[in-house]
Amino acid sequence: MPKDQQNLVPRPPVVVVMGHIDHGKSTLLDYIRKTEVVKGEAGGITQHVGAYQAEHTSSDGKKHNITFLDTPGHEAFCSIRERGAQAADVAILVVSAEDGVKPQTIEAMGEIRAAKIPFVVAINKIDKPNADIDKTKTSLGENEIYVEGWGGDVPWVAISALNGKGIPELLDLVILTAELAELKADPAAAASGIVIESELDTRKGITATLLIKDGSLGTGSFVVAEDAYAPVRFIEDFKGDKIEPAGPSMPVIISSWTKIPSCGSLFATVSTKKEAERMIQDSRFKIQEEKRAKAKPIEAHKKAKGELAADQFGYKKGEPETVVLPIIVKADTIGSLDGVRHELDKIRHDKVQLRIVYEGIGDINENDVKLAVSDPSTLLVGFNAEPDKKSAAMIERSPVPISVRSFKVIYELTDFVKETFLAKAPKEFVEQMIGRAKILAVFSKAKDKQVVGGKVETGLLETGSEVRIMRREADIGRGKIRELQQQKERVSEVREGYEFGMMIESKAEIAAGDRIEAVRTVEK
């Protein structure tokens, strides 16, 4: 239904700050908000989507509210950056004046273009001694980002997120870009928008950060996102303060969801629980229909190849035999879980398979530990998630050792999993020939022991070496060198070109003219 144009009013812009890791996105927001966000992030890397609101006084003296989304630059969090771009009206692409365009800069630019939102470029770190603004503009142009004055129309500002130089001009540019986009909303409508993040809070249950794109949200209503809903008993702003109502472009935190809402999903507001439950049923039906639609082409393909019966009765030929490393992953938020899953997907090996047997958000609990105990080879890892008191006691009392580790930096978690994963890979051994000799004479035979004489043709022979006994290129048996003599003196080895006497232990009967190949088994 078309919205009543008379109810539309300008709304604050939602701005996403994107760019390569360590190019200063969080420092920029930190300066704007005058808070200590950077110092609070493990390893100095933003690992969640943060939604914040700030007030900016433009050069003409007017006050403007701006909602900022802080997205991680690390490659692992590409899905979070994508959500940020989808939720925003304007993007700030932060590029270091020292480094220029980097891999995640290009990824971020791709997400901005996919979201079809206007953007401005902030060339950061101009306070650094190696800063080169012109070189950075050239780097941008080489990657098809053409800024004003350098063959393009993309607005840009040189800034220092550390000392604040250029930031007022950057925010003026953001306001101007937003005004040109004519962002409007209807404050009288029921709130709708996007789920930015969700997590399991030990005190409040399941909570979600919502970004209101239209309408206003008040208590007494119900918010619905796909097959999850929550009664709006109270509304918190990004600082955790209770507010009412919440208007367009505001990030809010809502608690007591029936299940974890999917990040990036759209939410709507209804007035009654009955309406919320009806919407959930409709959503579940739609999800089931989509699954059925996807399954049909796969089944038809299997039927055409005669694979369905093989699947049913277990006759289908499986994959080459591999070792499985089961892993349970717990994280503090859905976004964190996305990042961990993205990184774990990269860990591959021909002989080992990493299998996530369970994943979830919240602290490591008793059920996680019970699942890990059921298979002692299971890894139980937490990302910003520690064992709670009961599970910690269970781990301590466990009759079998359980591998439980918690991490605050994603690449430390993946390094640990990768190390454990590679240690599981079955060792492959090959025989390496170290020497070959021709048998010239057989002196005596007693049971399995034979005394022979010969000459080393290549390499060397060593006492204790395993040997292959070859007759006209055919392997007729195996043996072991028990003793070596050279010029009637016992030696430990005989090198190429020298004759020898040898006692060899073998069930194969050696004859003059045979060759022996000394081999060493080594790991491939």
DSSP 317-386: --PSP-EEEEEEEEESBHHHHHHHHHHHTT--BTTEEEEEEEEEESSB-HHHHHHHHTSTT-EEEEES--
In a domain, 209, yes or no: yes
Do residues 56 and 160 both lie within one domain?
yes
Look at residues 424, 440, 468 and tell me which one is the last residue of a structural domain: 424
In a domain, 403, yes or no: yes
Residue 24, domain CATH: 3.40.50.300
Q: How far is Cα 46 from Cα 28, in angstroms, rounded to an integer?
A: 12
Q: How far is Cα 267 from Cα 265, in angstroms, rounded to an integer?
A: 7
- DSSP letters, 404-447, are EEEESSHHHHHHHHHHHHHHHSPP-EEEEEEEEEEEEEEEEEET
State residue 47's pLDDT score. Answer: 40
Do residues 174 and 29 both lie within one domain?
yes
Number of domains composing the chain: 4
What does DSSP assign to residue 288? H
Look at residues 424, 450, 479 and tell me which one is the last residue of a structural domain: 424
Do residues 75 and 135 both lie within one domain?
yes
Q: How far is Cα 445 from Cα 451, in angstroms, rounded to an integer?
A: 7
Q: Provide block-wise average pLDDT over 10 residues at a time, the chain (524 residues).
A: 68 88 81 56 45 84 86 49 71 92 88 89 93 93 91 92 91 93 91 86 82 93 93 89 91 90 88 92 81 62 47 41 84 82 83 87 88 87 90 86 86 88 79 92 91 94 93 91 93 94 93 93 76
Q: How far is CA 383 from CA 340, 463, 481, in A?
A: 8, 54, 55
In a domain, 512, yes or no: yes
In a domain, 318, yes or no: no
State residue 85's pLDDT score. Answer: 65
Do residues 225 and 292 both lie within one domain?
yes
In a domain, 317, yes or no: no
Count of alpha carbons within 13 Å of 303, Cβ hemisphere only? 6
Phi, psi of 449, rounded to the nearest 5 degrees: -95, 135
Look at residues 137, 160, 185 and tell me which one is the last residue of a structural domain: 185
In a domain, 442, yes or no: yes
Asked if residue 241 lies in contact with residue 221, where contact means CB atoms within 8 angstroms, the answer is no
Do residues 180 and 190 both lie within one domain?
no
Do residues 372 and 468 both lie within one domain?
no
Asked if residue 116 lies in contact with residue 90, where contact means CB atoms within 8 angstroms, the answer is no
State residue 84's pLDDT score. Answer: 59
Which residues constitute the domain of residue 448?
Answer: 429-523
The angle formed by the CA atoms of residues 221, 225 and 231, to the nearest 5 degrees, is 25
Do residues 479 and 518 both lie within one domain?
yes
State residue 361's pLDDT score. Answer: 84
State residue 52's pLDDT score. Answer: 80
Count of alpha carbons within 13 Å of 239, Cβ hemisphere only? 8
Q: How far is Cα 495 from Cα 489, in angstroms, rounded to an integer?
A: 15
Do residues 160 and 47 both lie within one domain?
yes
SS3 label, residue 234? coil
403: part of which helix (H) or strand (E)? strand 403-407
State residue 41's pLDDT score. Answer: 46
Q: How far is Cα 475 from Cα 469, in angstroms, rounded to an integer?
A: 6
Do residues 415 and 444 both lie within one domain?
no
In a domain, 364, yes or no: yes
Token digits of residue 182: 């004519």
Q: Is 143 left (phi over 0), alpha (psi -120 to 50) or beta?
A: alpha
Q: How far is Cα 93 from Cα 90, in angstroms, rounded to an integer?
A: 10
Do residues 392 and 464 both lie within one domain?
no
State residue 72's pLDDT score. Answer: 55
In a domain, 195, yes or no: yes
State residue 1's pLDDT score. Answer: 41
Do residues 223 and 303 both lie within one domain?
yes
Residue 398, domain CATH: 3.40.50.10050
State residue 443's pLDDT score. Answer: 93
Do residues 147 and 77 both lie within one domain?
yes
